[in-house]
């Protein structure tokens, strides 16, 4: 998952300002390029999942890392026009944010056996730690050496470090043949569906859409609020210093939420935990318009960070638990497609609301109600009990 950094909004954000200055681009043009690259790149989620189910995780994941590394290297030397820049950003989005995210989640889903909830909690915790370290290192390199050198360093790390590690050490504990012969009681004890569903069967279940749309809604809010976080807090009287402390607080709360959810997943149903996480998220969004003190800001940071930790872990864990492993790549690829599309739309909705009303409060209030409805749906949804093996 760390390899997806150059294809993510946060990763591209590290080089946005020097890139705009170097290539003499205006923000509106770049924002348009980024929006359409994100939307079109999301389409790669589904074929990536299919290829992983068809050819295996190790080969496909290694190839994706190498291709992303070559794309990042090419981008570091780019001096051309708009079409070339759009193609490069499209490829970083498609290979990084979309395809490699599906690969990472599928690896975790296919290789975790018993105590899968705890493993997913640790997985989520570690990826957060890795991203924080990467932000510091890449950000420092951009400041000291420029964005081109930083991007070349990332390309070299992808091709000569992450790709070989993936090729040498990635293993799949479960494959199609083992799924068919695995003891049913062992699978159920591991929290894995005893008989796998196909993608078509999964799409016909309410649980796929409840969890898929819940994660998409979370990404919509997180991307919109994340991009305009400083402006949202400034609307309530908080300065830049408070904003920076708020970011640190939410990060710590998210890490705690991930570990807590991983521990609880061994004892409580994932439907309940997703409902609880969404309930916390709804409460945080509902209280934000009324936050005007530092104490209130810290409560908000704890709620929204902890809720995000819960929702992230459940998104990683639910698919193999509910639908089995035979077509896990395709199922998770479709779910990832929903989250990528929603993350592209989120900032636009927040910006439109601020432009029309002069405030972010209306969209926060509306989204709070929608998230609450999804919390109730997640709490009540029944996971499928598959009886027929996919063709």
Q: Which residue has the higher pLDDT, 349 or 156?
A: 156
- Domain 2-176: CATH superfamily is MFS general substrate transporter like domains (1.20.1250.20)
CA 155, distance to chain mean position in Å, is 21
- What's the confidence (pLDDT) of residue 173? 57
Residue 1 has which token pair? Answer: 């998952």
- The CA distance from 218 to 307, in Å, is 10
pTM above 0.75, yes or no: no
Q: Do domains 2-176 and 194-380 have the same CATH topology?
A: yes
| Helical segments of 93-146, H only | 101-111, 116-145
Instruction: Show me where the domains of the chain are located.
Output: 2-176, 194-380
Name the CA radius of gyration of the chain, rounded.
21
- What's the confidence (pLDDT) of residue 117? 65
Judge whether 14 and 142 are in contact, CB under 8 Å.
Answer: yes
Other Cβ atoms closer than 10 A to 99: 30
On the question of pLDDT at 379 being above 50, the answer is yes
**DSSP summary character for residue 383:** -
CATH of domain 194-380: 1.20.1250.20
Q: What is the pLDDT of residues 113-126, one digit of tens each?
A: 556 667 777 888 88
On the question of pLDDT at 250 being above 70, the answer is yes
Which CA distances in Å does 235 have to 223, 282, 326, 352?
18, 20, 49, 16
Residue 23 has which token pair? Answer: 């290539």
At 155 the three-state DSSP class reads: helix
């Amino acid at each position: 998952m760390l390899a997806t950094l150059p294809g993510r909004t946060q990763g591209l954000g590290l080089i946005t300002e020097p890139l705009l200055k170097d290539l003499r681009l205006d923000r509106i043009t770049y924002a348009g390029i980024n929006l359409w690259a994100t939307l079109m790149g999301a389409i790669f989620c589904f074929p990536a999942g299919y290829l992983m189910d068809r050819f295996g995780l190790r080969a496909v994941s290694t190839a994706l890392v190498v291709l992303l590394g070559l794309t990042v290297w090419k981008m570091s030397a780019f001096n051309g026009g708009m079409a070339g820049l759009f193609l490069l950003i499209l490829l970083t989005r498609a290979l990084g944010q979309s395809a490699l995210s599906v690969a990472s989640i599928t690896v975790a889903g296919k290789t975790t056996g018993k105590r899968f909830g705890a493993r997913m909690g640790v997985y989520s915790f570690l990826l957060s730690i890795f991203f924080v370290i990467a932000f510091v290192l890449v950000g420092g390199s951009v400041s000291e050496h420029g964005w081109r050198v930083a991007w070349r360093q990332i390309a070299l790390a992808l091709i000569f470090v992450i790709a070989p590690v993936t090729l040498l050490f990635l293993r799949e504990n479960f494959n199609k043949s083992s799924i068919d012969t695995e003891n049913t009681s062992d699978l159920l004890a591991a929290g894995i569906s005893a008989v796998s569903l196909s993608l078509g069967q999964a799409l016909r279940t309410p649980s796929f859409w409840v969890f898929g749309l819940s994660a998409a809604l979370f990404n919509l809010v997180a991307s919109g609020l994340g991009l305009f976080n400083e402006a949202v807090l400034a609307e309530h009287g908080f300065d830049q210093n408070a904003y920076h402390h708020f970011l640190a607080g939410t990060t710590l709360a998210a890490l705690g939420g991930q570990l807590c959810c991983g521990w609880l997943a061994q004892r409580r149903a994932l439907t309940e935990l997703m409902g609880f996480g969404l309930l916390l998220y709804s409460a945080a969004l509902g209280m934000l318009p009324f936050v005007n003190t530092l104490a209130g800001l810290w409560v908000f940071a704890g709620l929204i960070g902890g809720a995000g930790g819960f929702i992230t872990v459940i998104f990683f864990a639910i698919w193999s638990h509910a639908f089995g492993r035979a077509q896990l790549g395709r199922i998770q690829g479709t779910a990832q497609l929903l989250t990528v599309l929603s993350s592209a739309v989120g900032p636009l909705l927040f910006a439109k609301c601020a432009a029309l009303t002069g405030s972010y409060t209306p969209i926060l209030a509306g989204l709070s109600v929608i998230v609450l409805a999804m919390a109730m749906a997640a709490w009540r949804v029944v996971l499928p009990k598959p009886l027929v093996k996919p063709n």
